[in-house]
Amino acid sequence: MEGRRILARGHDKPYDRMECDPNEGNVFREFVVKLKGSVALVTGSSSGIGAASARALAAQGCRVAVTWNSNERGGSSTVRACRKAGAPAELFRLDVTDDEACRRVVREVVDKWRRLDILVNSAGVTRFCAATDLEGLSAEDFLEIYRVNVVGVFQTVRAAAPFLKARPVAHVVNVSSMAALNGRGSSIAYAASKGALLTMGKSLARVLGPRVRVNTISPGLVSGAWAKEALGEKKFAAMQRLASLRSTLKGVPKPEEIASVILGMVQGGDMITGSNVPVDGGAHLGTAHLLDLGKG
C-alpha cells in the first residue's frame, strides 16, 4: 500500500490519501477535513446551541461567521469568545426568512474569506402551546414557525450550496429536535416543522452529494438559558428532573455537549450523509424511567 499527499482540485491545502493497487480493483481513499483555516457559517449563533457550535469550531481553528437576528449583544459575545480562542470571527445580521439576506450574507462571508466549508443551521423559533389545546395555534403560528425552521434552512442551504460544492469536502448540519421523532415539545407546530426538517435533510443530502454532506442533529431538552427563560425557572427545573429520570444516561445535555456532537459530525463524518443523530441522553429508548420505578 502506498501513502501519498495530494492537492485536491479547488482546495488550497493537501489531503491525505491512501490508495491500494488499482490492478486489484479496490481503491481506498481517505479525505480528512482540515478544520484549521476552514470557514464556517453558523446561523442563530447569538445564544444556545448555535453559540456553543461557533465556539467549538473556533477552538479547532475555523474562521467563523456568527449571525444574529434579534440578539446583537449575544452575537457580539460569541464573536469575542471565538476570537479569544484564537480564530477570526465576524458578526452578520441575518433573518433566515429573507431569501435575499441569506444570499447577501453568504456572499459577504465568501468575499471575506474566499471559501465556505461548513454550514450549521441553528436558527429556530417556537410557539409554546399545549398539545391538547388545538385552538391555541393559528395558521399564522404554523406559517411563522415553518418560515424560520424549514424555509429559512432551505434558503440558507440554497444560498451556500454553490460555494460548498466548490470544496472537495463540505458539511451542512441542521439542528432539528427530538420533537420531530416523538411529537412532543413546545407545540404541535414546532414538532411538525422539525419533522419536515428531517425529511428535507435527506432530500438535500441526495442533491448536494458527493462533495457536500448534509446531516441532522436532534437534541432533546437542553440545559440552557433559552429554555429556562421561555418556561420559567420552576417549570424548567421540573422538566429537567423528568428528562433526567427518563434518560438512560441520567442527565440533560448542555449546549456545549450538543456542539461537540456537531463538531464530531464535521470532523469525522466524511462518509455520513442524510443521517439524523438524536442527543437526549438515551431518553428515546423509553425504558430508563420504568427501570427506576421498579427499583422502588
Give tens-digit pLDDT for 177-187. Answer: 998 888 888 89
pLDDT value at position 150?
Answer: 98
What span, in angstroms and rounded, lies between the C-alpha atoms of 240 and 222? Answer: 9
The lowest-confidence range among 139-153, 161-175, 221-235 is 221-235
54 and 184 belong to one structural domain: yes
What pLDDT shows up at residue 110? 98
SS3 235: helix
Contacts 24+ apart (CB under 8 A), 197-206: 197/149, 197/150, 197/153, 198/276, 200/150, 200/153, 200/154, 200/174, 201/174, 201/176, 201/274, 201/276, 202/274, 204/154, 204/157, 204/172, 205/273, 205/274, 206/274
pLDDT in tens, 28-84: 344 445 699 999 999 999 999 999 999 999 999 999 999 999 999 999 999 999 999
* Annotated catalytic residue within 68, 146, 163, 190: 190
Output the pLDDT for position 226: 66
Are residues 24 and 43 both part of a single domain?
no
44 and 3 within one domain: no
70 and 200 share one domain: yes
What is the pTM assigned to this prediction? 0.83
pLDDT at 294 over 70: no
Residues 6+ apart with CB under 8 A from 229: none
Calculate mean pLDDT across residues 193-206: 98
107-114 average pLDDT score: 98
Q: Are residues 147 and 27 in the same domain?
A: no
pLDDT of 90 reads: 98
Residues 179 and 249 in one domain: yes
In whole angstroms, what is the distance from residue 269 CA to residue 274 CA? Answer: 11
Q: Are 281 and 249 in contact (CB under 8 A)?
A: yes
Question: What is the number of domains present in the chain?
Answer: 2
Alpha-carbon distance of 235 to 207, in angstroms, equals 42
Residue range 268-280: average pLDDT? 92
Instruction: Tell me the residue range of the domain where 88 lies.
Output: 36-295
Give yes or no: 190 in active site: yes
Q: Do 7 and 124 sit in the same domain of this protein?
A: no
Task: Tell me: do 19 and 40 sit in the same domain.
Answer: no
Asked if residue 136 and residue 11 are part of one domain, the reply reads no
Whether residues 17 and 146 share a domain: the answer is no
Domain match, 128 and 208 both: yes
Same domain flag for 137 and 76:
yes
Position 12 scores a pLDDT of 45
| CATH assignment at residue 170 | 3.40.50.720
Mean pLDDT of the chain: 85
The continuous run of DSSP H or E covering 91 comes out as: strand 89-93
Q: Kindly indicate the confidence band of residue 92, based on its pLDDT and cuts at 50, 70 and 90.
A: very high
**Model confidence band, residue 112 (pLDDT cutoffs 50, 70, 90):** very high
